[in-house]
Structure 1
Amino acid sequence: MKRLWFLSFLLSAALVCSSCGSDEPENPQPTPEQPENPGGADHPDPTDPTPGENGRYLVVFASRSGNTERVAQTIRATLGCDMLEVEPSEPYEEDYNATLERAQTELDGIAEGNFPAIRTVVEDFSKYDIVFVGFPIWYNRIATPMQTFLHRHADKLAGKRMALFATSGGSGISQSASDARTLCPDAQFTENLLLTSASGGQADARIAQWLERLGASREETPEAPAGTLSLKMTVGGQTITATMEDNAAARDLMSSLPLEVTLTDYNRTEKIFYPDPALDTEGVTRGCAPVPGDITIYAPWGNVAIFYKEWPQSGSLIKIGHIDGNGIDVLGAYSGDVHVRIENNE
């Protein structure tokens, strides 16, 4: 019955999905016969992603039947970004039942700390604003090659903004998202995207809407006009920029750079630190209703406050800048304190 169901699924998926709407069967595919413990010495050489014209994003994916790969290709075509396939050391069998058996064996091995061998290793993720991670869902879990990849690269992905996308015959993504957070506990996870056989015909539109919500686009961040004050912050291996106001307080902050500070979470709304000495606010216009990304000074206390949520109008706030693009999401993803380096963006 499983074989008949699978053949029926493939036929219906091929008819419904034109480019990337079909999804991998929720019942998995094979497992390396001898799972490898990533702590061992058998590590492949680093793999170079296929480059795109927009180097801000990386799409990394695992796919056996090609469904997840079609989604990855759509994301790459939309963003013009780099892409890399995670490949098992031992290719999966064509026989579906053998695939199911191997997948279950691999999942059992992972539960005991033994991850199947893969051929894909990335040296550095630092240049990427977002890493898109795609996989089929096998028995409600992340496909095993991708689990190995995330496990091996957890340290390099710490602080990195990650967006999960998955294909499935009908299973949800919640358990897989939990797997990813366990495998990469220090990464910053965004909204997930799940494409099932039922949503195949709407796949392209859903991918485009998802990327828009994430703030991901083909265009590079425009350079600030000449003479504009601009700073950059390094947060957990990621770099975000901010355009500063042309006022005395902003110029005073810029003159004190570079700074190494710890931003403390305040009121679950803003990240704050106290410059030493206090910034010059004499004669600077006060009063603003901060929106996410605004960099301000709270005049009574003298602290710098970077808002990641909206706040009502306050006559005690002085706006001195705004974080560019969706960079505030990087800071807002940290629920507690976070260490940052602030420098001139030259």
Structure 2
Amino acid sequence: MKRNLLILFLLLIVLSITACGKSEDPFIPKQTESKNENNDKSDTPTSGGDKRYLILYCSRTNNTERVAQTIRTILNCDILEVEPQIPYDNDYNSMLGRAQKELEEIRQGNYPEVKTSIDNFDNYDIIFIGYPIWYSSMATPMQSFLHKHASKLSGKQMALFATSGSSGIATSVSEAQSICSESIFIEQSLLLTSLTLPQMESRITEWLDRIGADREESDAPENSSLNINIKIGDRTITATMENNAAARDFLSRLPLEITLKDYNNITEKIFYPSPALTTEGVTRGCTPTPGDITIYVPWGNVAIFCKSWSHSNDLIKIGHINGNGIEALSIDGDIPVKIEQY
């Protein structure tokens, strides 16, 4: 009798385990009605002034997002984040495990769901595609997005940019070309690794110049509008500003009446604009010479150099004092000045 009860008990356990084993496959997220509704929803990119370009990006650690936002600042264009249907776990090892499984699924032709969708790309000249590199491949959400929109991207120019720890970009480029075989890929792609990410702004600017992507400036200043007067008592000296976003921001605030503070034994004359001048998307790096007007990015101050100084990646040049005008500022102490555009 006891033996029969034991057999019956074991049978119940086996049946219970079998029933549990019929639950959803852990490798494939369960589909729901609300998910399908979201998949059919079209997303609207955040709009910029220049409608020729669209930036699409996916990002988990924000590195790719930083690159995308820098490109957007330079081009003043539309931007949209590509998001997975199911967010990734914050735990790094868990995320890696999921990424490996999704990459293997894609090789079998099964793309994970993304909740981002766009109706058409007709009005854009170039579509920028940004993503992190996972195990040498394009991050799976972007692969899924391209697969989902391949027909809509037919004939469109595509420019790829990526971030990685140290992996190359070649495999991901091949993946994109395979998924969107009817698209036109710009030959030069941009890769920023952990070693080159600190030079992000300069590398992005150089890349955009190489591929011929520039900002549409309907109200670009004439050469004469880059000139300023600096009045020091009864004397007026002149300067010519650079044609970059930081210098244009400076010009937009004129006229200014300020006091230039002496810094480092007449090496620089400085002041602090409020709010700080824009520096996003502007190429950094300057070896200042006497007369250079610069921004020291970490502090946000404008520094007019009276003496030569060593190269700094934290300096942005926004102008230069003409002729020997810097001599008027190369004196001890603070100097009240009035700066006007002419």
- TM-score, structure 1 length as denominator? 0.52
- Cα 1:35/1:141, change in 2 over 3 Å: farther
Partner in structure 1 of residue 144 of structure 2? 148
Alignment pair present for 1:133 and 2:134: no
- Cα 1:35/1:61, change in 2 over 3 Å: farther
Task: Report SS of the residue matched to 1:132.
Answer: strand
Larger radius of gyration: 2
Which string of whole-angstrom CA distances, capped at 9 and with x for unpartnered residues, describes residues 194-228 of structure 1? 00011122111010011011111111699xxxxxx
The structure 1 segments of at least 4 consecutive aligned residues displaced by more than 4 Å after TM superposition are: none
- Cα 1:75/1:112, change in 2 over 3 Å: same
Following TM superposition, by how much is the alpha carbon of 1:44 offset from its aligned partner in structure 2, in angstroms? 2.8
Following TM superposition, by how much is the alpha carbon of 1:32 offset from its aligned partner in structure 2, in angstroms? 7.8
Q: In the aligned structure 1, how far is the partner of 2:139 from the partner of 2:178?
A: 15
Following TM superposition, by how much is the alpha carbon of 1:135 offset from its aligned partner in structure 2, in angstroms? 0.2
Q: Which of 195, 220, 226 is the aligned partner of 2:192?
A: 195
- Cα 1:203/1:32, change in 2 over 3 Å: farther
Partner in structure 2 of residue 34 of structure 1? 29
Q: In the aligned structure 2, how far is the partner of 1:41 from the partner of 1:111?
A: 23
Q: In the aligned structure 2, how far is the partner of 1:186 from the partner of 1:148?
A: 16
Q: Which amino acid aligns with 1:166?
A: A
Q: Which amino acid aligns with 2:148?
A: R
CA contact (8 A) 1:32 1:117 kept: no
What are structure 2's unaligned runs of at least 5 residues? 1-25, 220-342
Q: Greater RCO between the two (CA within 8 Å, min separation 6)?
A: 1
- TM-score, structure 2 length as denominator? 0.53
Alignment pair present for 1:73 and 2:69: yes
Which string of whole-angstrom CA distances, capped at 9 and with x for unpartnered residues, describes residues 231-263 of structure 1? xxxxxxxxxxxxxxxxxxxxxxxxxxxxxxxxx
The aligned runs of 1:83-232 (5 Å cut-off) are: 83-190=79-186, 191-219=188-216
Q: Which amino acid aligns with 1:34?
A: P
Q: For this pair of structures, how many residues does the alignment match? A: 189
Q: In the aligned structure 2, how far is the partner of 1:41 from the partner of 1:63?
A: 23
Partner in structure 2 of residue 60 of structure 1? 56
Task: Report SS of the residue matched to 2:160.
Answer: strand
Q: In the aligned structure 1, how far is the partner of 2:217 from the partner of 2:83?
A: 30
Q: In the aligned structure 2, how far is the partner of 1:114 from the partner of 1:168?
A: 24
Q: In the aligned structure 2, how far is the partner of 1:214 from the partner of 1:221?
A: 21
CA contact (8 A) 1:150 1:183 kept: yes
CA contact (8 A) 1:68 1:136 kept: yes
Partner in structure 2 of residue 47 of structure 1? 43
Q: In the aligned structure 2, how far is the partner of 1:103 from the partner of 1:170?
A: 17
CA contact (8 A) 1:32 1:90 kept: no
CA contact (8 A) 1:33 1:102 kept: no
Following TM superposition, by how much is the alpha carbon of 1:124 offset from its aligned partner in structure 2, in angstroms? 0.8
Q: In the aligned structure 2, how far is the partner of 1:124 from the partner of 1:32?
A: 31
- Cα 1:52/1:32, change in 2 over 3 Å: farther
- Cα 1:156/1:32, change in 2 over 3 Å: farther
Which string of whole-angstrom CA distances, capped at 9 and with x for unpartnered residues, describes residues 38-76 of structure 1? xx9663311000000111100000001100000000000
Q: In the aligned structure 1, how far is the partner of 2:185 from the partner of 2:218?
A: 22
Q: In the aligned structure 2, how far is the partner of 1:142 from the partner of 1:99?
A: 15
What are structure 1's unaligned runs of at least 5 residues? 1-30, 223-346
CA contact (8 A) 1:57 1:81 kept: yes
Partner in structure 2 of residue 226 of structure 1? none
